[in-house]
Structure 1
Amino acid sequence: MDFGPITVRELVMEETLNYKGVPVLKYTIRYPEFSSAVFRIAVHEMNRYYHARAALQRQRYRQLLYPQAARDYDYAAAHDYPFRQYEAVATHTVTYNENCALSLYADNYQYTGGAHGTTVRTSDTWSLRHALRVPLAVFFAPTVPYPTYVLEAINNQIAAQIAEGIGMYFDDYEKNVAQSFNPRNFYLSSAGVVIYFQQYQIAPYASGIPEFTLTWSDDVRPPQCRPA
């Protein structure tokens, strides 16, 4: 039985921090809050988790990034350089909300001067029945040789992109994929399991965060509403 999606709304923490009367850091933290008449335990656990994570992120911005911005401002002023205001943006995107499961990814963007900022992605997939995060392995049939199956699928997609001239990757991409693959770096979509890599791990900055979808099949199985 499918109890349908849970309700999601977005909460925001934001602030501009000044140093010597100058704005040196602006941060925005967008994080989810969930509600459900059915999965009460799960939404309570998820709300506690994401609120605590947002509060910790705010603390890091204030205690670590702000002092760094202040030091850079002083250095720029002392050497008559222009100072570029720091910026930090944390967002969440829900990608799957059905079949008693919820999946989302979080992007943490930071700009600290220079040519461009950087983004680090994390993700979580929850069983709403059990109020727990679930690992990548549970979405593969028992007979599938995981993670070999994942690496081969990714390498095949990269090879196809290169052959079509639509992908930019570092040389020796198979080695990079094997070394950089992290089973925590995944989320669910309506099409299948999406595996992603961080910036610069297997491709240049212009490629962003590379993503590879392993479509639902007999080998890659979507969540199901089973009794707890």
Structure 2
Amino acid sequence: MRQPQDGTEKRNARRECKVRKERAVMNILRTLLLTSLLLAWLSACGGKTEPNRPTTEPLETEPSAAAGQDESKPDEDTEPAVIEGSEIEEETIEIKDSADGQPLLTACVTRPDVTGLVDGAAKRAIDRYYDACYREEKEWWVGGLADFARENKKSAADCGGTFLPFTVMESSEIVYDGSAFLAIRRDVEAYTGGAHGSHMVYCENFRKADGELVTMADVFRTEDYKSVILSQIADRSSQEDTEGEYSGRDFYQNWEEMLDRSFDESSFFIGPEALTIVYQEYDIAPYSAGTQTFLVSYSDISNELSERFLQEIYGGK
């Protein structure tokens, strides 16, 4: 009679482990979703008032490349040229499990340096914008994201698996420095469980005169700028088809439909001759295709651009 009982116990144990694994998967998916939503919100942060100065954490160990991020990805499409310059601040935060001292999460941020590119009130406004963004990000890392890492670590231990510490690596580049505008790109590489990490690109465009964030509504005179942009991308796609700009890209079959559904009006860079429209991983193409960008020339949409933007962009480059 004992043998069947042992078999039943083993089956029950396997079922329990399966349930725990399913819960672990759900935790990972929930983590990815919440992380993406929060970072998307942070990309539009930066209030009008002076925020409290963030508390600086002591520097700890440099994060290593997250294991599991070995899926190869081709070079992404041509991006705006990077303006050479130093970074204003690099900060590393390591959060450890109080139970065993093992790392749960490491986050490393390199902030943009706008010194010498803008001065006075404009520089202070941009600095306040990023002060607020990075303060909120830090609160998320040491709070919600660390809690999810702790849950995943426990789930892995319960099922005899291996926990890989979460990592967040954020870098920044000045991609356009014109007479009127400054465009800054922030890249966030995050590993929060699973087969590979995630990559998000955040876009900020500032007016040099006052340090204000420039929105797509500021660039266009029409409220329906989404239709203008999507029409330009679709027209060039149909004209160039197999030999033009979009040939060789590993898009979804319904990528033009996804252009509309995934359009994010904050994901663009101002450049000297064109806007660069950015689509994130999975928006219109598989993960392996990476971030997708499209150039929309000012000369092709000049009738749709606001008078103020035209005066500023062509007033000097």
Please, what TM-score do these two structures have when normalized by structure 1?
0.84
RMSD: 2.7
Q: 1:173 to 1:39 in 2, by over 3 A?
A: same
Rg larger in structure: 2
1:67 corresponding residue in structure 2: 147
* Residue in structure 2 matching 1:120, options 200, 210, 221: 200
Picking from 232, 243, 250, the partner of 1:168 is: 250
C-alpha distance in 1, partners of 2:172/2:103? Answer: 26
Residue 10 of structure 1: aligned partner: 88
Structure 1: 5+ residue runs without aligned partners?
A: none
Q: Which amino acid aligns with 1:163?
A: T
Percent of paired sites with the same residue = 22
Per-residue CA distance 1:55-104 (angstroms, 9 max, x = gap) = 21111111011111111111211221011121111222211111121011
Q: What is the distance in 2 between the residues matched to 1:155 and 1:66? A: 42
Q: How does 1:132-171 map to 2 (within 5 A)?
A: 132-140=212-220, 142=221, 146-159=225-238, 163-164=242-243, 165-171=247-253
Letter in 2 for 1:42: A
- Return the structure number with greater helix share: 2
**What is the Cα deviation at residue 172 of structure 1?**
2.0
Q: CA deviation at 1:137?
A: 4.2
Q: Evaluate the alpha carbon distance shift between residue 170 and residue 199 of structure 1 in structure 2; reply closer, same or farther with a 3 A threshold.
A: same
**What is the CA deviation profile of residues 131-188 of structure 1, one whole-angstrom value per residue up to 9, with x for unaligned ones?**
2112224445x58973332102222344567624411111222221112212211012
Q: Does 1:91 align with 2:171?
A: yes
Q: Which among 187, 197, 209 is matched to residue 269 of structure 2?
A: 187
Whose strand proportion is higher, 1 or 2?
Answer: 1
**What is aligned with 1:200?**
282
* Alpha carbons 1:30, 1:92 under 8 Å: kept: yes
Task: Give 1:14 shift.
Answer: 0.6
Separation (CA, whole Å) in 1 of partners of 2:137 and 2:223:
38
- Aligned residue for 1:31? 111
Q: Normalized against structure 2, the TM-score is what?
A: 0.62
Q: Indicate conservation of the 8 Å contact 1:12/1:31, yes or no.
A: yes
Is it true that 1:223 corresponds to 2:313 in the alignment? yes
Counterparts of 1:168 and 1:47 in 2: how far apart (Å)?
38
User: Which whole-Å CA distance do the structure 2 matches of 1:71 and 1:135 have between them?
Assistant: 38
For residue 248 of structure 2, what is the amino acid of its counterpart? I
Q: After TM superposition, give the deviation of residue 39 of structure 1 in Å.
A: 3.3
Q: Among residues 160, 168, 186, which one is paired with 1:80 in the alignment? A: 160
